[in-house]
Structure 1
Amino acid sequence: MKKYSILLYYCYTHIEDPEQFREAHHVYCLENGILGRIIVAQEGLNGTVSGLREDCEKYMHDLKADPRFSHTEFKVETHDTHAFQKLHVRVKSEIVHSGLQHIRPQENTGKYVEPEEFKQMKDSEDVVLLDVRSNYEHQIGKFKNAVTLDIENFRDFPEKVQELEKYKDKKIITYCTGGIKCEKASAFLLEKGFSTVYQLHGGIIKYGLEAGGEDFEGKCYVFDNRIVVDINKVNPAVISRCYMCDTECDRMINCANPVCNNHIPVCENCGWKMEGACSEDCKEHPEKRPYDGTGYYQKQTNGYNPYKGLIRSK
């Protein structure tokens, strides 16, 4: 059995003093062996973290013991090691940047569809599956026949809604990686007059864990050192092609040039040939990072001080 767990979670709830919470939560994670990225805002909490299995069990128990986070749902995956090398707990204006700060999903959002129900609904003629993720995410993997939007970041979603007018008489099911973007995307669609809006509860990850991932084509982009993960255990398919040689490829890297950092599918041969770069210019860039075959680049940990930024010393 793998010793580590990776937790993906979010919770829309009111946090009166995000900075105070951030500091206390940061210390808690350090004392309990939790690494990863956590965003704190007045509207709630959003995190992807990793740790030893028992430490993650404690983390989930203790977080849910706080009444503000008692309804938090965790997507749990196993891993051989930590998926992160650092801990970052940051305060931001939103737990996912959308520009829709007026929307409160805990008050009004699309109806949840659980994975097994989604599996039954997804092929109906009156249903439209709407991917609300960014281009680089849905290009490496998406649900069969899903509608995708040309967006570089989720904050671009609101201006694309006008393109969906032709689906107003359909049942729209939004989906994303873990569900957090759909909370606001589905609420915004309701605000814009779409009458029948659902969201895949727990996102692609939960659908893979609980329903086998049927009809999710390709792989799912994740925000840790795995970059992409397998979802479909029923009828997997590859939908992306190598950025360099155009062969079938569901392996993804970040360009080794940090100024570019392009997210692209690249086969193993081209990855090594180009030293992890997406172009000759990037390959020759003076700041190009050493390529180790993964295409994931953790920021340098030299001099990393996990207590940096804390108001109160441990």
Structure 2
Amino acid sequence: MSRFLTAALYKFVRLPDFRELQAPLLDCCNRHQVKGTLLLAEEGINGTIAGLPDDIEAVLAWLRSDPRLAELEHKSSWAESPPFQRMKVKLKREIVTLGVEGVSPTNMAGEYVKPQDWNTLISAPDVVVVDCRNDYEVAIGTFDGAVDPHTRSFSELPAWVEKESAPGGLLADKPRVAMFCTGGIRCEKSTAFMRMQGFEAVYHLEGGILKYLETIPEADSSWQGECFVFDDRVSVGHALVPGGLGRCLACGYPLTAEEQASEHYEDGVSCPHCCDSTEERKAELRERRRQQALAAEQKRADDKAAHSKP
């Protein structure tokens, strides 16, 4: 049975005192031995944490004790081993970086569509379905008929929208647009941006791909492939079962078994996606990998010594 509970959470809400929340939030997570990364900004909170179930619930209760976060929702999944090794609480300008001033998901986001209604919407001939994720995420799985903007970061999406809104572009006539992402946060911001650009009929998948995979049986699903996640699971499939992909520790790309068997793959140093990096960079990564191995060996020795004491 899986022991570790993973909670992915976000909420767009005004937090003018977000800097003052950093230290007590980190202290709460450390006291409960919860690991992961949480981002705080004036526009809200975003991140993923993992730990034993009671400890995760304690951290969530602490967050929800703030009236502004009382309705904070999260998505749960399970892991056999700890998916994170450290706990970080970072201060940011945005909790998800679009890089456009004035985008306010709290009052401008598009219309939520529940997972059970999503298939009907995206199969409509007058709807353009846009995958808001990065190219390496789209490469391992997406919805039938979805458009891949081929962006390397979320902040590149506005430029793609501008290009496709020009005469002859996919969005030139301002069609109905359905957008989706991993957990929903990027879509809340991207649909708010689309409304700023004059698109009136804009929709996004409530709870993101993860909620869809959790809710919709595989036999009824329009999803093809696996969904990239930002933890040690790398990817998940229907019912949020961990997928079969690895990850390049040098560039972060998800890797198939064939890619890991490639001559261009060296654990922690390179893969077929980043093998053209400089020899100097590869040497740095090899040294980092060596130091990590030494640290892990020392930790095992320390743990063994601690357990052998009477």
Question: If the TM-score is normalised by the length of the shorter chain, which range does it land in?
Answer: 0.7 to 0.9
**2:166 paired with 1:175:** no
Write the letter of the residue equivalent to 1:271. Answer: A
Moved more, 132-141 or 50-59: 50-59
Distance in structure 2 (CA, Å) of the matches to 1:272 and 1:96? 34
Instruction: Please state how far the C-alpha of 1:193 moved relative to its aligned partner.
Output: 1.2
Matched residue, 1:227 = 234
Change (3 A) 1:77 1:182: same
The number of equivalent residue pairs is 279
1:294-313 matches, cutoff 5 A: none
Structure 1 runs (4+) deviating above 4 angstroms are 279-284, 289-292, 300-303
Matched residue, 2:266 = 275
Structure with the larger helix share: 2
Query: Of 189, 193, 196, which residue of structure 2 is paired with 1:191?
Result: 196
Matched residue, 2:245 = 251
Distance in structure 2 (CA, Å) of the matches to 1:77 and 1:17? 30
Change (3 A) 1:269 1:115: closer
Write the letter of the residue equivalent to 1:182. Answer: C
Which of the pair has more CA radius of gyration? 2
Write the letter of the residue equivalent to 2:90. Answer: R
Distance in structure 1 (CA, Å) of the matches to 2:74 and 2:187? 16
Identity of aligned residues (%): 30
Matched residue, 1:104 = 104
Q: Would the aligned equivalents of 2:215 and 2:239 in 1 still touch at CA under 8 Å?
A: no
Matched residue, 2:123 = 123
If the length of structure 2 is used for normalisation, what is the TM-score? 0.81
Change (3 A) 1:252 1:3: closer
Gapped runs of 5+ residues in structure 1? 234-248, 304-314
Instruction: Please state how far the C-alpha of 1:301 moved relative to its aligned partner.
Output: 8.4
Change (3 A) 1:145 1:202: same
Gapped runs of 5+ residues in structure 2? 299-310
Deviations 1:16-56 (A, max 9, x none): 22221011101011112211010000110001110111212
Distance in structure 2 (CA, Å) of the matches to 1:183 and 1:63? 21
Distance in structure 2 (CA, Å) of the matches to 1:194 and 1:203? 21
Distance in structure 2 (CA, Å) of the matches to 1:143 and 1:290? 40
Q: Would the aligned equivalents of 2:75 and 2:211 in 1 still touch at CA under 8 Å?
A: yes
Write the letter of the residue equivalent to 1:265. Answer: L
Q: Would the aligned equivalents of 1:216 and 1:232 in 2 still touch at CA under 8 Å?
A: no
Matched residue, 2:285 = 288
Change (3 A) 1:281 1:107: closer
Distance in structure 1 (CA, Å) of the matches to 2:70 and 2:296? 34
Instruction: Please state how far the C-alpha of 1:158 moved relative to its aligned partner.
Output: 0.8
Deviations 1:189-247 (A, max 9, x none): 111111100110111011111123612111111111111111379xxxxxxxxxxxxxx
Write the letter of the residue equivalent to 1:221. Answer: F
Distance in structure 2 (CA, Å) of the matches to 1:22 and 1:226? 27
Q: CA RMSD in A?
A: 2.9
Instruction: Please state how far the C-alpha of 1:281 moved relative to its aligned partner.
Output: 5.6
Write the letter of the residue equivalent to 2:135. Answer: N
Distance in structure 2 (CA, Å) of the matches to 1:173 and 1:290? 45
Write the letter of the residue equivalent to 2:255. Answer: P
Write the letter of the residue equivalent to 2:128. Answer: V
Change (3 A) 1:142 1:111: same
Change (3 A) 1:143 1:193: same
Q: Would the aligned equivalents of 1:127 and 1:172 in 2 still touch at CA under 8 Å?
A: yes
Change (3 A) 1:291 1:266: farther
**2:259 paired with 1:263:** no
1:1-314 matches, cutoff 5 A: 1-165=1-165, 166-167=170-171, 168-212=173-217, 214-231=221-238, 251-254=245-248, 256=249, 258=250, 261=251, 263-267=253-257, 270-271=260-261, 274-276=265-267, 277-279=270-272, 285-289=282-286
